[in-house]
Amino acid sequence: MGAAGSERASVTADESAQSGRSRERSPNTTAALAALCLGFFMILLDGSALNIALPSIRAETGGSMVAVQWLVNVYTIPLAALLLSAGTLADRLGARRVFAWALGGFTVTSLICAVSATLPVLLVARCVQGIFAAGVLPTTLAIIARMYPDATQRARAITVWGATGGVALVAGPIGGGLLTEVLGWRSIFLLNVPIGATALWLTWRHIAETARRDDGSFDWTGQLLAIAGLGALVGGLIEGGERGWSSPLTLVLLAASALFLSGFVGAESRVASPVLPLTMFRSAPFSASIVNGFAFQFGAYGLQFMLAVFLQTQWGYDARTTGLFFLPFAVLWTFATLVLNRRWADRGMRWLLITGSLTAGVGAVMCSAVGEPDRWPAVLFGSAVVGFGCGLFGPSCNGAAMASAEPRCAGLASGVLNTSRQVGMAIGIALLGGCLAAPDPIIGARIGIILTAVCFVAIAVLSSRYVPRRSAAQ
C-alpha cells in the first residue's frame, strides 16, 4: 500500500507539473493531432516511396541490386527492433519529448540521405533513420491516448491517424515514382524536410508533455534481449524471403531470434522492473488486440505484396499497371477509414472489427480466382473488397489495444502493438511471397490467399469473444 501510494503521489505530482507547463501552449488539439499525423505520414511515406526509386539509386551509385535492397532492410530491422524500447522511453521520459527528438532526428537524417554521395553513406543514414522512426511511431499513439481521455473522441482521433497511414502507403508508390522520374530519387528524402519541420513546429506550439511513470531501475538486460531478438527475427524473415528458408544465414538468424526472445521472456519474469510486464497480457482484451494487429498486417499487406508480385511475374504487368490495379483497393480503404468509420463510430469498435474483418475475408476468398490473366476482373473486385474491409476495421485494431491498456503505460502499449504489427507484416510478406515459389505459382497464390482469409476470420472470432461492446467499454 505504501509503495502504491507513493507511486500515485509521484504520478500526480508529475501530472500537476506537466499541466502547469501545458498551459504555456495553446490547447489546440486539432493542430496537435496534425503534428502527430504528419510525423506518422512521413515515416510510412518514406518507406513505401523508396521501393520505387531503388533502380534509380542503383544506376547512380553503381551498387549491386543486393546492396541497394538493403536500403530497405537496414531501415526495417531497427524500426521493428526498437519499437518496444521506444514505447518504454516514452512512458519514462515523456512521450512528447521522445516524439520531438525522434522527429527531429528523422528529419535531419533525411537530409543526409538526400545529399549522400556514396551508397555506404546512404546505407548508414538509412539505418539511423530507422532508429529515429522507431521513436516516432509508438509515441504518436501514446500522445493521442493521453490527449483524448474521452473514448469517443479518442476513437475518432485514432481513425484520422490510421487514415493518414493508409494515405501514405497509397501515395508512396505513386508519389515516389513521379518524384523519381521528374526530380530524381533524392527528392524523396528532401520531401521529408519541410514535412518534418512543420510537424516539429506544431509539436512545440500545441503538444503538452505527457505524465511519466517511474517503475524503478531501467531493465537494460530486457531491452538488449528484446532488441536482439526482434532484430534477428525480422532479419531472418527478410533473408528467408530473399535467399530461401534453407539458407544458412536465414537459419542462424531465426535460431538466434528464438534464443534471444526466450531469454527475454525468462528475464522479464524475474526482474522487479521489467521493460515489458508480462502481466499486461493477463488482460484478454489487450492480448486479443495485439493478436488482431498482427493478423491485420499479415493479411492486408502480405496479400497486397503477394498479388503485386503475381501480377508482374505471372501476368506480365508492368509497375504502372500493377499500381493502377490496386487503385480500387486504396480508394475503398481510404473511404471506409475516413468516412464510414466516423459515420458508424456509435456502433462501437467491436462491431467495426467483426464486420470489417469478415468483409475482408470474403474479398480474400474472391481473390482465389487467380489463374489465367482473363480472371483479372474477379481478382480486382476481390482486392477492392479486401481494401474496403481493412479500412473499416483497421483503426479499431489500434483503438481497442489502446483502450484496454493502462493510461500510464500508453507508450509501452503502443510499442507492443506496433511491434506485433511490424512482425506481422514481415512474416506476411515473407510467407505469402514464398508461396509464389511453389512449383505451381497459381496453387501457391491460392494457398497464400487462404492463409489471409484465415487471419481475417480469426480477427472476427477474437473480437467477438474478447473486445467488449461499446456500452461495456464505457
List the grid coordinates of 11. 504520478
Q: Whose CA is closest to 433, among 445, 423, 420, 451? A: 445
DSSP state string for 131-156: HHHHHHHHHHHHHHHHH--SHHHHHH
Cα separation, 227 vs 224, in Å, equals 5
- Residue 466 has a pLDDT of 87
Distances in whole angstroms, Cα of residue 329 to Cα of each of 29, 139, 165, 366, 377: 31, 29, 15, 13, 13
Residue among 37, 103, 88 nearest 410 (CA): 88
**Structural domain spans, the chain:** 25-213, 217-272, 282-474
For residue range 214-243, list pLDDT tens digits in order.
Answer: 665 667 787 788 888 888 888 888 777 677
Rounded distance, CA 412 to CA 83, Å?
A: 9
CB 96 within 8 A of CB 210: yes
User: Could you give the dihedral angle defined by the CA atoms of residues 268, 273, 275 and 279, in that order, rounded to the nearest 10 degrees?
Assistant: 60
Closest CA to 405 of 393, 418, 416: 416
The answer to whether 289 touches 467, Cβ cutoff 8 Å, is yes
Query: Cell 502504491 belongs to which residue?
Result: 4
Q: Do 352 and 159 meet the contact criterion of CB atoms below 8 Å apart?
A: no
Residues 97-154 pLDDT 10s:
999 999 999 999 999 999 988 888 999 999 999 899 989 988 888 888 888 877 778 8
Same topology, domains 25-213 and 282-474? Answer is: yes
User: Nearest CA to 197 among 75, 87, 110?
Assistant: 110
Per-residue pLDDT at 281:
82
3-state helix/strand/coil string of 66-103: HHHHHHHHHHHHHHHHHHHHHHHHHHHHCHHHHHHHHH
Amino acid at 210: T
DSSP string of 355-417, one letter each residue = HHHHHHHHHHHHHTT-SSGGGHHHHHHHHHHHHHHHHHHHHHHHHHHHHTS-GGGHHHHHHHH
CATH, domain range 25-213:
1.20.1250.20
Rounded Cα distance between 465 and 457, Å, is: 13
The three-state secondary structure class of 184 is: coil
Comparing CA positions, the residue from 310, 344, 254 lying closest to residue 432 is 310
To the question of pTM greater than 0.95 for the whole model, the response is no
Asked if 173 and 182 touch (Cβ cutoff 8 Å), the reply is no
Low-confidence stretches of the chain (pLDDT < 50) are: 1-26, 471-474
Q: What is the CATH number of domain 282-474?
A: 1.20.1250.20
Kindly give, in sequence order, each residue whose CB lies less than 8 Å from that of residue 435, ignoring residues fewer than 6 positions away.
Answer: 306, 444, 445, 447, 448, 451
Quick one: DSSP state of residue 216?
S
